[in-house]
Structure 1
Amino acid sequence: MQRMMRVMVVDDEPLAREGVRARLAWHNDLCWIGEAGDGEAAVKVMQRLKPDLVFMDVQMPGISGIDALRSIESEQRPLAILLTAYDQFAVSAFELPALDYLLKPIDDQRFRESLDRARAAMRLRAGNDTAPSLAWAERFSIRVGQRVVVVDANDVDWIEAHDDYAGLHVGPQLYLLREPLHQLSLRLDPRRFIRVHRSAIVCIDRVAELESLSNRDCLLRLKDGTPLRASRTYVDSLRAALAAR
């Protein structure tokens, strides 16, 4: 049985800290252990309380949230979900690396997805306590008739939901992996793949252009010409991920 995840919140805005705490209260596998209002205090609290996960505001008085995390040795550093009102800070989030980043005001669905990613990361750490980095999926074994085809993650252009399967698009080929899209998304490196819709994930490097639509959704086009719709829930994160390339 997986133990409760120890979580702390760092933000210079008291209302922002309260908002995260209120969302955490709905999850009985999480234990809120403390908070801090600036980067220097965050370092001291993290060293003392040793949280598993920290929700860290990026821009604060004194040292930034990213520098606060960097000051902790990688082997001791907690999993981090960055909070920011400015998507340009995603560049540093990808370099840290952070588990995820949430743009303010926080969307409830994105918050739940970030927690799911943290849970998956905790399971990986529990299975290999000596590994400071996460073992994201690098290849997929897919049964095609009597054969098993191995698909390299680097070859995947985008992924769509097919009921209980995930459809991996590799050039003109479609491979059906027996795994729901939501579950698969937790095993994908967020520096390479990003969700753009409830039913679609794209390889960030395959995105060629992005066009805003009137309802705050976006139309994106992959380098091979494939058009996909990015829903408003994911557009800000997508823009931030593209800015980090």
Structure 2
Amino acid sequence: MKSIPIRVAIVDDEPLARLALRTRLENRPGFELVAEYGDGDTAVEGLAALRPDLVFVDVEMPGRSGLEVLRALPSDSRPMAVLVTAYDSFALQAFDLAALDYLLKPVDDERLDEALDRARRAFPWRRQSDATQPAPWIQTFTVRAGASTVLVRTSEVERIESDGDYATLYVSEKTYLVRERLHQLAMQLDPLQFQRVHRSAIVRIDMVAELRALTNRDAMLRLRDGRLLRASRTYMPALREALERHNAR
């Protein structure tokens, strides 16, 4: 049976930004671009009528902002949203919009693929009529420890680091190797609890004790166990939003 494509709209006041995203989407199977909008007012009308599955929205636009566009749409028909911005911080007002991801301009190919993978994973649940469907995030890892098989709850994992085609789970004083790439794991973890901070690392949000901005728009993270990790600028918008949401609880 042929799979249903995810219908995508782009909202951005910059023609070149729309063109760049449109060109990239043409090479990603399973996604169908159905509309582009260059301003917020037109976007609200068009999105309400067209009801796409996924929308890439520029946060900062003249007139009605990207956040205002999403907020103007009924929550029960609001599309999955990926927020795109030239800045690496977000206001608390973005929380209730439940964005899938936050991309920093210029958009990195790897980060775009992560956002699209997240949309693919969320899409089947979005189509369910039963609102009580559980979120599609993994709750446990099945790992080998010597001759034994161990179940590790995701809530116990403090950070995950890349190890070639594998990944290492850090659980208190123990480490476990899982046969999966970091990129694949990032798509399976609840973004409210875990965030990828670098191509080689994922951290549990409540493990971050301090974030210190660096001059190149990267950041240095100090974890609660004292470890220092560098956070790449391309992951900073989603990380800042997740930290603000966590602190607001």
Normalising by structure 2, we get a TM-score of 0.83
Q: Does 1:37 align with 2:58?
A: no
Q: 1:49 aligns to what? A: 50
Question: Which residue is 1:179 aligned to?
Answer: 180
Q: Secondary structure at the match of 1:98?
A: coil
Q: Return the alpha-carbon distance in structure 1 between the equivalents of residues 88 and 232 of structure 2.
A: 17
Alignment deviations for residues 1-51 of structure 1 (CA, whole Å, 9 cap, x no partner): 432221100122223222221221222322110122233322221222221
Supply the distance in 2 between the matched residues of 1:216 and 1:89 (Cα, whole angstroms): 15
- AA aligned to 1:193 is F
Give the SS at the match of 2:34: strand
Q: What is the CA distance between 1:196 and its match in structure 2?
A: 1.7
Write out aligned runs for 1:136-151 (5 A): 136-145=137-146, 147-151=148-152
Relative to structure 1, the CA distance from residue 10 to residue 137 in structure 2 (aligned partners, 3 Å threshold; closer, same or farther) is same
One-letter amino acid matched to 2:210 = E
Matched residue, 2:130: 130
Superposed CA deviations along residues 113-151 of structure 1, whole A, max 9, x for unmatched, are 21222122224445x453488432233333434544333
> For the aligned residues, what is the CA RMSD?
2.7
After the TM superposition, list the runs of 4 or more consecutive aligned residues in structure 1 that deviate by more than 6 angstroms.
none
Aligned counterparts of 2:158 and 2:3: Cα–Cα separation in 1: 34
Amino acid at match of 1:225: G
Structure 2 stretches lacking a partner, 5+ long: none
| Distance of 2:140 and 2:73 partners within structure 1 | 32
The Cα of 1:158 is off from its aligned counterpart by 0.5
Aligned-partner residue type, residue 98 of structure 1: A
Q: Is this contact kept in 2: 1:93–1:101, CA < 8 A? A: no
State the number of aligned residues: 244
Alignment partners' CA distance in 1, 2:89 and 2:244: 7
Who is 1:220 aligned against?
221
The sequence identity of aligned pairs, in percent, is: 52
Corresponding position of 2:74: 73
Residue deviations 1:137-183, cap 9 Å, x none? 23333343454433332222101123443322121121233332211
